[in-house]
Amino acid sequence: MTLSYRQPGVVLTDRRFTVPLDHDHPGGETIELYAREVVASDKAHQDLPWLLYLQGGPGFGADRSVGRPGWLGRALKEYRVLLLDQRGTGHSTPANRQTLPLRGGPAAQADYLTHFRADSIVRDCEAIRAQVTGGAPWTVLGQSFGGFCLTTYLSLAPEGLATAVITGGLPSLDAHADDVYRAAFPRIERKVTAHYARYPQDAERARRIADHLLTHDVVLPNGYRLTVEAFQSLGIVLGTGDGTHRLHYLLENAFVRTPQGFTLSDAFQEQAQGMLSYARHPLYALVHEAIYGQDARPTAWSAERVRAEFPRFDAAKALAGDEPLLFTGESIHPWMFDCDPALRPLRETADLLAARTDWTPLYDPARLAANDVPVVAAVYHDDMYVDTAHSLRTARAIRGLRTWITDEFEHDGVRTGGQRVLDRLLALARNEA
């Protein structure tokens, strides 16, 4: 049964679909997908084209917005929008420490999670498209990892696409995870340097917090072990439009004086655990490096191995001298599965995924070179999460793709830029700009 309800300016409808777990075996086990249909209230009874939104991640459910903010407001001027919870996220047969034991032990869990990459997500989209559009191709907006999925869509099923719109999500077609992280750490250092230039007082604050963590065993209220490496990982926010300000306000409230001396404040600990915990999106941690697996090479905890090639990120060495403490960015490490109570039961599963040698290609360079779908992409000039050089190389490999390269926004420009980003990209796709 479908259920429709209203928010200011929009009508929402819950949609549920059944798809195969493994699309190569359509008669086998199935999973459920959830999506939220959104249409402007004054257009609710009109026959509108469809726009499918693929969220960033991996492992995040679709936006839970209220009304018609930002890009959604622009899309609703002419589209009926489907906000899909990709498999394993949100209401779409969630995969987490509570549900994965239903599969069996770690080996069975790891096998199950091999079906949660971009190729399976694209085949889900094609499986439900006929039910949603009646078989007509739809416009797809892919943000970040959603853009990775859309690049796979162009490789596997371009006939399902009317227009492809990518924001901050043009992946390398052939880079191993090691290549991705070797390109990432210098970008992360640039973001940290820019943060300290904006907030110079934070350099000493970060060193003081790191020194405290190196000499104290700190467990946050939710059971998260706050190590110095975990503290450094808070730098992941520096790739977003307001991230530098969020980090600053966190650091300025770090310590409080108690009868036993200075210690980390309850306010700091509460905010830090909300930023660090993967309880709401554990799939991100489990399959993050697997999204770069495309051949027989294991990912083998790539970010952890590559980080060792950049000794400036070593907190103890920085504190022993006068170097600034460097935060880290979008990377997953084995110690996270020891620190985070939402991930601890999944450590062996994560190890097995990191060791796999049977990853299959996610992109088809020949098909992309022959592309005839209108494709546009926003490429952010120094995107912390997706390497700009990798994105531009892929842009040249996809026939007819038009790029909008900008330094006005960070990686989340489609969220922070209101209606402007989507408006600009749709104009490019239609040769109106």
- Taking the CA of residue 46 as centre, how many other CA atoms within 13 Å lie in the half-sphere pointing to its CB? 16
- 201-215 and 243-251 helices cross at what angle (nearest 10)? 60
Residue where a domain stops, chosen among 355, 371, 403: 355
Tell whether 212 and 331 lie within a shared domain.
yes
Distances (CA, A) of 406 to 59, 378, 382: 27, 7, 9
Tell whether 167 and 202 lie within a shared domain.
no
Domain count for the chain: 2
Tokens representing residue 34 in the block: 């959830």
By the 10 Å C-beta count (0-12 exposed, 13-18 middle, 19+ buried), 420 is classed as: middle
In 69-117, which residue ranges form alpha helices assigned H by DSSP? 70-75, 106-113
Could you list the residue range(s) of the whole structural domain that residue 396 is in?
3-174+363-429
Tokens representing residue 209 in the block: 């917090």
Tell whether 282 and 372 lie within a shared domain.
no
> Is-contact 376 164, C-beta < 8 A?
yes
Tell whether 329 and 422 lie within a shared domain.
no
* Closest to 95 (Cα-Cα) out of 60, 52, 120, 121: 60
> Is-contact 36 83, C-beta < 8 A?
yes
Active-site residue set: 144, 358, 411
Give the Cα separation of 248 and 424 in Å (integer). 32
* Closest to 365 (Cα-Cα) out of 155, 196, 113, 159: 155
Tell whether 189 and 89 lie within a shared domain.
no
- Which CATH number characterizes residue 146's domain? 3.40.50.1820
Tell whether 342 and 377 lie within a shared domain.
no
Tens digits of residue pLDDT in 239-296: 999 999 999 999 998 999 999 999 999 999 999 999 999 999 999 999 999 999 999 9
pLDDT of residue 3: 86
Tokens representing residue 420 in the block: 């402007």
Tell whether 124 and 214 lie within a shared domain.
no
Residue where a domain stops, chosen among 289, 322, 355: 355
Tens digits of residue pLDDT in 391-420: 999 999 999 999 999 999 999 999 999 899
Tell whether 216 and 138 lie within a shared domain.
no
In sequence order, the 6+-apart residues with CB closer than 8 A to the CB of 206 are 251, 324, 325, 327
pLDDT at 2 > cutoff 80: no
In 55-174, which residue ranges form alpha helices assigned H by DSSP? 70-75, 106-113, 118-133, 145-156
Partners of residue 6 on adjacent β-strands? 11
Tens digits of residue pLDDT in 105-146: 999 999 999 999 999 999 999 999 999 999 999 999 999 999
Tens digits of residue pLDDT in 306-364: 999 999 999 999 999 999 999 998 999 999 999 999 999 999 999 999 999 999 999 99
pLDDT of residue 1: 59
Tell whether 286 and 163 lie within a shared domain.
no
Tokens representing residue 415 in the block: 């969220």
Tokens representing residue 44 in the block: 């609710």
- Taking the CA of residue 346 as centre, how many other CA atoms within 13 Å lie in the half-sphere pointing to its CB? 31
Tell whether 266 and 375 lie within a shared domain.
no
Residue where a domain stops, chosen among 325, 355, 385: 355
User: Mean pLDDT across the chain, nearest whole number?
Assistant: 97
Tell whether 107 and 143 lie within a shared domain.
yes
* Closest to 20 (Cα-Cα) out of 12, 9, 32, 10: 32
DSSP string, 286-346: HHTGGGG--SSS---SHHHHHHTT-GGG-HHHHHHTTPPPPP--S---TTHHHH-TTTGGG
Tokens representing residue 119 in the block: 């190729």
Tell whether 210 and 237 lie within a shared domain.
yes
Tokens representing residue 35 in the block: 């999506």
pLDDT of residue 169: 96
pTM for this model (two decimals): 0.97
pLDDT of residue 262: 93
> Is-contact 325 210, C-beta < 8 A?
yes
